[in-house]
Amino acid sequence: MDNCMNEKFEYCLGCKVKPCKSGCPLDNDITEIIRLMKSQNYKEAYKIATMTSVLQSVCGRICPHKSQCEGSCVRSIKGNSVEIGEIEAYLGDKAIDEDFEMYAFDESAKNMKVAVVGSGPAGLTCAAFLARHGVKVTIYEKYDKLGGILRHGIPEFRLPKDVLDKCIDKILKLGIDVEYNKELGKNLDIAEIEKQYDAVFIAIGANISWNMNIPGENLDGVYGGNELLEKSNHPDYKGKTVIVSGGGNVAMDCARTIKRLGARSVKVVYRRAEEQMPAEQKEIDDAKKDGVEFLFQNNILKIIGDTRVTAVECIKTELVKKEGESRLSPVNIQDSNYIIDADYVVMAIGSTVENEIIDRTNLQKDSKGYIKVNDNFETSQENIFAGGDVIGTKSTVAWAAKNGRVAAEKILEKLR
């Protein structure tokens, strides 16, 4: 056994109350999994892990562990937490390499057929849990490879594509069929697939970047961060200055990717303080190591240029406590405006669903434009379910995967 990894196992105290499990969106029984790994019973540890998740190799690498499982670890009170992410990735990789079996559910749903539209973390997880109950599952994917946001939104340096491919292949071995190059609302009609299946689960994500609603957004050289990562249709950044607006992991991924593609200067503009950034601290630290600059407590007022970007106008902010709000809010400081020369601007302040696609499904939307679902992930149409970012869930892989698993359970309950 790798001595270093063995030390990581032994560092776990085996808490009976299992705070790490409570901190995990997927409710993974981390304490029991590590206990089994300590005794080198990896196959049984993997079976326990797959009772709640099928993306160990992925989640172990890209989840915001410090704000989830590791952040709840008792060890973190007086020192460093157990390195749960590394342990999870190690188990997932070992299970793939040595072909461990997943936990065996009853196959009482062999007479059922379900279509899963989208193959991100929600879609893959839903498909896997349905298939393990005997459901005949077909995934419909708009690209020629599966993975959704995992493939088209997470850079290679955070999630190697060969790792993702192996993880997906293990899921497909459950007997799942795939229809590639099928996009909902274009060459895939919800009414048609609804006729062919007992239920449909929609998990197409929400990858349309929010606008900043400031002057100059329509200039050449302004990009949406989500679209840049998804399509990898980058301009030539060599020798250029790029401004990234936002403070989440998408902003960090954009900034680091652009810097690695040769940009002379990449500046992240964020209107709050560093400790308020929604991005994982590790991602912020890694961006700094890559040479990304940060302008905290600054706000972009305007993008400047005739036909294309030449500069941005920023203003400094101060953080104040507003009545009825739980955290400090940024307020522009009068007459603190200044100009930064820039060649490109990337908007990475959040994302939403593609309204045109959702409108073609005739499904009801909520006030924010996401597909409206009830507590059972049911949409406004009978036997059509939805989950993940397309319903506005918390934007982490683990939360999307949790949606997929619970939706599978609700689909089974409904059809039975």
Q: Supply the pLDDT for residue 185.
A: 84
Exposure string over 313-352, b if 16+ CB within 10 A, otherwise e = bbbbbeeeeeeeeeeeebebeeeeeeebebbbbbbbbbbb
Q: Supply the pLDDT for residue 81.
A: 95
Q: Give the CATH number for residue 313.
A: 3.50.50.60
CA distances from 344 to 76, 218, 230 (A): 40, 12, 18
Report residue 186's pLDDT band, with 50, 70 and 90 as the boundaries. confident
Q: Supply the pLDDT for residue 361.
A: 87
For residue 213, the tally of other CB atoms under 10 A from its CB is: 6
295 Cβ contact partners less than 8 Å away, ≥ 6 residues apart: 267, 268, 269, 270, 314
Query: Comparing 128-132, 357-361, 407-411, which segment has the lowest mean pLDDT?
Result: 357-361
Report residue 202's pLDDT band, with 50, 70 and 90 as the boundaries. very high
Give 354 or 199, the one with higher predicted confidence. 199
How many Cα atoms sit within 13 Å of 150 on the Cβ side? 35
Q: What are phi and psi of 257, to 5 degrees?
A: -60, -45
Let me know whether 342 and 217 are in one domain. yes
Domain end among 350, 365, 387: 350
Q: Supply the pLDDT for residue 293.
A: 98
Domain end among 316, 350, 384: 350
Domain assignment of residue 102, yes or no = no
d(CA 226, CA 240): 20
Summarize pLDDT for 215-225 with one digit per residue, the tens.
999 999 999 99
9 with 36: CB under 8 angstroms?
no
Query: How much of the chain exceeds pLDDT 70, in percent?
Result: 100
Q: Supply the pLDDT for residue 358.
A: 86
**173 Rama class: left (phi>0) / alpha (psi -120 to 50) / beta:** alpha
Number of structural domains in the chain: 3
Q: Supply the pLDDT for residue 107.
A: 85
Bridge partners (DSSP) of residue 352 are 208
Mean pLDDT of 163-167: 98
Q: Supply the pLDDT for residue 359.
A: 85
pLDDT greater than 90 at residue 17: yes
Q: Supply the pLDDT for residue 259.
A: 98
Let me know whether 344 and 360 are in one domain. no
400 with 389: CB under 8 angstroms?
yes
Cα-trace Rg, the chain: 22
Q: What are phi and psi of 357, to 5 degrees?
A: -65, -45
Cα-to-chain-centroid distance, residue 82: 23
Let me know whether 384 and 342 are in one domain. no
Summarize pLDDT for 300-342 with one digit per residue, the tens.
999 999 999 999 999 999 999 888 888 889 999 999 999 999 9
Let me know whether 357 and 410 are in one domain. yes
Let me know whether 311 and 231 are in one domain. yes
Q: Give the CATH number for residue 21.
A: 1.10.1060.10
Q: Supply the pLDDT for residue 309.
A: 98
Highest mean pLDDT out of 100-114, 120-134, 360-374: 120-134
Let me know whether 298 and 340 are in one domain. yes
Cα-to-chain-centroid distance, residue 318: 30
Q: What is the mean pLDDT of the chain?
A: 95
> Against a cut of 0.85, is the pTM above it?
yes
pLDDT greater than 90 at residue 226: yes
For residue 172, give its domain range. Answer: 113-206+353-415
For residue 152, the tally of other CB atoms under 10 A from its CB is: 19
Q: Supply the pLDDT for residue 374.
A: 96
Summarize pLDDT for 332-390 with one digit per residue, the tens.
999 999 999 999 999 999 998 888 888 888 899 999 899 999 999 999 999 999 999 99
268 with 255: CB under 8 angstroms?
yes
Report residue 108's pLDDT band, with 50, 70 and 90 as the boundaries. confident
For residue 170, the tally of other CB atoms under 10 A from its CB is: 21
Summarize pLDDT for 30-73 with one digit per residue, the tens.
999 999 999 999 999 999 999 999 999 999 999 999 989 999 99
Report residue 290's pLDDT band, with 50, 70 and 90 as the boundaries. very high
d(CA 86, CA 100): 19
* Dihedral sign computed on CA atoms, order 317, 319, 325, 327: positive
Summarize pLDDT for 146-161 with one digit per residue, the tens.
999 999 999 999 999 9
How many Cα atoms sit within 13 Å of 210 on the Cβ side? 13
Domain end among 307, 326, 350: 350
